[in-house]
A and B are shown apart, each in its own frame.
Chain A
Amino acid sequence: MTNKVAVMLGAAAFGLVASAASATTLDDVKAKGFLQCGVSSGLAGFSAPNDKGDWLGLDADFCRAVAAAVFGDGSKVKFTPLSAKERFTALQSGEIDVLSRNTTWTINRDTALGLNFAGVTYFDGQGFMINAKKLPGVNSALQLSGASVCVQTGTTTELNLADYFKANNLEYNPVVFEKLEEVNAAYDSGRCDVYTTDQSGLYGIRLTLTAPDDHVVLPEIISKEPLGPVVRQGDDQWFDIVKWTYYALLTAEELGITKANVEEMKSSTNPEIKRILGVEADTKIGTDLGVTNDWVVNIVKAVGNYGEVFENNVGAGSPLKIARGINALWTKGGLQYAPPIR
Chain B
Amino acid sequence: MQEHDLSYVRTEMVLAQAAPAGEKGTGAWVRRNLFATPMDSVLTVLGLLLVAFILPPILNWAFISAQWSGTDRSVCATVAQGGLQPDGWSGACWAFVNAKFMQFMLGRYPDAERWRPILTALIFVALLVPLLMPSAPRKGLNAVLFFFVFPIVAFVLLTGGWFGLPHVETPLWGGLMVTLVLSFVGIAVSLPLGIVLALGRRSKMPIVKMLSVVFIETVRGVPLVTVLFMASVMLPLFLPAGVSFDKLMRALVGVALFASAYMAEVIRGGLQAIPKGQYEGADSLGLGYWQKMTLIVLPQALKLVIPGIVNTFIGLFKDTSLVYIIGMFDLLGIVRQNFSDATWASAQTPITGLIFAAFVFWIFCFGMSRYSIFMERRLDTGHKR
Contacts and interface: CB of A to CB of B under 8 A. Distances in A.
Interface string A55-83: 01000000000000000000000101111
Contact of B81 (A2, A51, A93, A207): A207
Contact of B234 (A9, A18, A207): A9
Interface SS, B side: helix
Given A53-B103, A212-B82, A81 B337 contact: yes
A89 interface: yes
Contacts of A53: 103, 107-108, 174
Given A49-B103, A81-B329, A92 B80 contact: no
Contact of B349 (A2, A6, A208): A208
Interface string A84-99: 0110011011110000
Interface string A127-158: 00000000000000000000000000000000
Contacts of B77: 207
A334 interface: no
Contact of B236 (A85, A95, A212): A95
A323 interface: no
Contacts of A188: 347
A-side interface size class = 35 or more
Contacts of B350: 181, 208
Contacts of B174: 53
Contacts of B325: 83
Contact of B327 (A2, A51, A86): A86
A42 B100 contact: no
A42 B107 contact: no
Contact of B237 (A51, A93, A208, A319): A93
Given A49-B337, A80-B327, A2 B229 contact: yes
B236 A93 contact: yes
A13 interface: yes
Interface stretch (B3-11, B59-67, B145-153, B238-246): B238-246
A48 B336 CA distance: 11
B-side interface size class = 35 or more
A207 B241 contact: no
Interface string A1-20: 01000100110010001101
Contacts of B338: 42, 48-49
Interface centre among A13, A53, A212, A318 (most CB of B within 10 A): A53
B125 interface: no
B73 interface: yes
A76 to B, nearest CB: 14
A101 to B, nearest CB: 11
A50 interface: yes
A338 to B, nearest CB: 27
A232 to B, nearest CB: 11
A42 B336 CA distance: 9
Nearest to A212: B81
A186 interface: no
Nearest to A40: B340
B233 A13 contact: no
B339 to A, nearest CB: 7
B34 interface: no
Contacts of A114: none
A9 B236 CA distance: 11
A45 B174 CA distance: 22
A41 B241 contact: no
A43 B244 CA distance: 27
Contacts of B169: 78
29 contacts: A9-B234, A13-B237, A17-B240, A28-B242, A42-B338, A42-B341, A48-B340, A49-B103, A51-B99, A51-B341, A52-B103, A52-B111, A81-B337, A82-B327, A86-B232, A86-B233, A89-B234, A90-B236, A92-B237, A93-B236, A94-B236, A95-B236, A207-B82, A207-B342, A209-B81, A210-B81, A211-B80, A212-B80, A319-B345
Interface of B: 72-73, 77-78, 80-82, 99-100, 103, 107-108, 111, 169, 171, 174, 229, 232-234, 236-242, 244, 324-327, 329, 336-343, 345-347, 349-350
Interface of A: 2, 6, 9-10, 13, 17-18, 20-21, 28, 41-45, 48-54, 56, 78, 80-83, 85-86, 89-90, 92-95, 181, 188, 204, 207-213, 318-320
